[in-house]
Amino acid sequence: MGETISIGGYLAQRLQEIGVKQYFAVPGDYNLILLDEFIKNKNLELINCCNELNAGYAADGYARAAGVGVVVTTFTVGAFSALNAVGGSYSEDLPVIIISGGPNTNSEPENQLLHHTLGEVGYNYQKEIFSHVTCDSVVIKHKKVAPFQIDSAIDKSLRTRKPVYIEIPCNIAGLEIHKPRNFNFNEQKTSDKRNLRDSVAHAAKLLNSVQKPMLVAGVKLRPWDAIDAFKKLADKSNYAVATMPNAKGMFPEDHKNYLGTYWGQVSSPGVSEIVESSHLYLFAGPTFTDYTTTGYTTLITRNKLINAGPNYVKFPDRTYNNVVLSEFLTELSKKVKPNNNNVTSFKRIKEDFVKEPPVKPKQILTTKRMFAIIQNYITSKTAVIAETGDSWFNGMKMKLPGGAKFEMQMQYGSIGWSVGATLGYSLGLGKNNRVMAFIGDGSFQLTAQEISTMIRYKLNPIIFLINNRGYTIEVEIHDGPYNNIKNWKYSELVDVFNAEDGNGISFKVNTEGELRDAIKKCIKHKGFSLIEVTIDRDDCSKELLEWGSKVAFNNAREPKESEF
């Protein structure tokens, strides 16, 4: 009972207890004592990043793979750089713990003007700013309440699947407090029993009464631990299943009833026709945004929709609150009658699979052929990361074998996210798996320097750098000279980042044969790999063209004026 530990050490131990193995940081004078205390915990590995934005993206990727991510910054100049990444984690329901060093607690009452601040005395602003992108933000100023503040913030992050902000002033991090006591983090909330029972009965009655019911997986299945429950419902019901675009990979694509991606007019062939003509559709954990609905052009009608959210179930005529998604899906699986009518309907209209022709070694690469060739090297140990842009649409077409994973940042869509996320995801995934990331040249230029961190920590992702000399997704939404970028010799960057001790390899390819040969060499390589693929500027998927026009139309709506 009398054993003590520093406040920084206490926080480090709590992070270890919730499963964190690596954390991402950039040092600054306000967080150095804190980092000293973290380093004392030999079960946590410090990953030094090139800047705080990338560190935040890495924590985001790590949280996707391992459950929770951590980024450590210095005050203002560091934390503000990470703010954008934390905002993305908030919008995507990811528990990321951002920890910032802070000024000495005496500085504000003594009216001291400090560096790395906004030039005014008053240092609570960072907590206030982060309160908009976190579920809790705390500043630890007194050691007596430090354990409570730390435990409470971490618990809120895990329970709500949102980031939290913890600020530790530089003269607080080393103070001694009692060692952590047992704490049951992330105790799952249970449903209101009556609402659970009634919502299940209501859903079962409706689903069992229609000829063509449909299941659609949404992105919130993962943060609310409902993936297994959804699959159980699919197995028991025998319903046809589709996934929303940002839920790709959350349902096994080798399942006998899996149809493909539902994304309105840019859905997998035949899927929108089946989903939208269904007599009733249950969307589990969906997000209906301009991006996921292709500019709000999907033909989903409220009178046929059961919307099962994280803690509610909405029917056309009523809503049941305090119903946990996983419990609802599990109980519903016990009540529904098997029905595969939509599977049968899909088989009637399903387009015959056209096998891609073999590699033509001297054929100039197109985007379509690039992804067709890469498809042959996707295994159950592969995690695909698709950057915002045409990689979304080409990634949607890839067939994921059982066990393969897929990640995109559709809600937030911050270009450049994928480079840092590849770093974090590779660490969270472990050495027995491999990340393949598809990144456009425009996005890559924002965060390219984190390749050096992947090389430094001997990670083995393969980055496919798609060089078409511009922001293709923006071109298809609204073109202009601002979508042009300065070309780089991307493949040569790996030699720069290798310096004297790195083990990265890179290739620049123009033909199908060169791409095939480069992939084979990268797979055998035990380290970082980059393949620069030169693609014509106007070469993009037809889905991006269709989707871009619909999003552009939605963006261009005239402002509505009051009649008065």
**CB 491, CB 530: distance < 8 Å:** yes
Tokens of 528: 């970082």
pLDDT value at 478 more than 70:
no
Mean pLDDT for the chain?
93
Q: For position 471, what pLDDT does the model report? A: 63
Q: For position 353, what pLDDT does the model report? A: 67
How far apart, in whole angstroms, are the C-alpha atoms of residue 109 and residue 271? 63
Instruction: Check if 4-178 and 193-349 are the same fold.
Output: yes
How far apart, in whole angstroms, are the C-alpha atoms of residue 130 and residue 27? 20
DSSP alpha helix (H) spans, 350-479? 367-375, 390-396, 417-429, 441-447, 451-456, 472-477
How far apart, in whole angstroms, are the C-alpha atoms of residue 334 and residue 233? 8
Q: For position 127, what pLDDT does the model report? A: 97
pLDDT in tens, 425-468: 999 998 889 999 999 998 999 999 999 999 999 999 999 999 98
How far, CA to CA in Å, does 265 sit from each of 216, 285, 474, 492, 561? 16, 21, 19, 40, 31
Q: Where are the beta strands (DSSP E) in 474-528?
A: 505-509
Q: Which residues contact 520 (CB under 8 A, 6 or more apart)?
A: none
pLDDT value at 187 more than 90:
no
pLDDT in tens, 506-543: 999 999 999 999 999 999 999 999 999 998 877 777 77
Domain boundaries, the chain: 4-178, 193-349, 367-543
pLDDT in tens, 162-186: 999 999 999 999 999 999 998 888 7
**CB 47, CB 21: distance < 8 Å:** no
pLDDT-derived band at 38 (thresholds 50, 70, 90) equals very high
Share of the chain above pLDDT 90, in %: 86
Bridge partners for 101 per DSSP: 168
Question: What architecture (CATH level 2) is domain 367-543?
Answer: 3-Layer(aba) Sandwich (3.40)
Pairing of strands 176-178, 4-6: antiparallel
pLDDT-derived band at 390 (thresholds 50, 70, 90) equals confident
pLDDT-derived band at 473 (thresholds 50, 70, 90) equals low
How far apart, in whole angstroms, are the C-alpha atoms of residue 285 and residue 267? 18
Residue 154 amino acid letter? I
Residue 288 amino acid letter? F
pLDDT value at 299 more than 60:
yes
Q: What is the pTM of this model?
A: 0.94
DSSP alpha helix (H) spans, 310-384? 325-333, 341-349, 367-375
353-362's contacts with Cβ under 8 Å and 24+ in sequence apart are 359/512, 359/513, 359/516, 360/512, 360/513, 361/511, 361/512, 361/513, 361/514, 361/516, 362/511, 362/512, 362/513
pLDDT value at 365 more than 90:
yes
pLDDT in tens, 80-92: 999 999 999 999 9
DSSP 470: B
How far apart, in whole angstroms, are the C-alpha atoms of residue 457 and residue 426? 10
Range 4-178 classified under CATH 3.90.79.10: no
Residue 48: helix, strand or coil by DSSP?
Answer: strand
Range 193-349 classified under CATH 3.40.50.300: no
Q: Mean pLDDT lowest for which of 118-127, 430-439, 472-481?
A: 472-481
Pairing of strands 382-386, 434-440: parallel
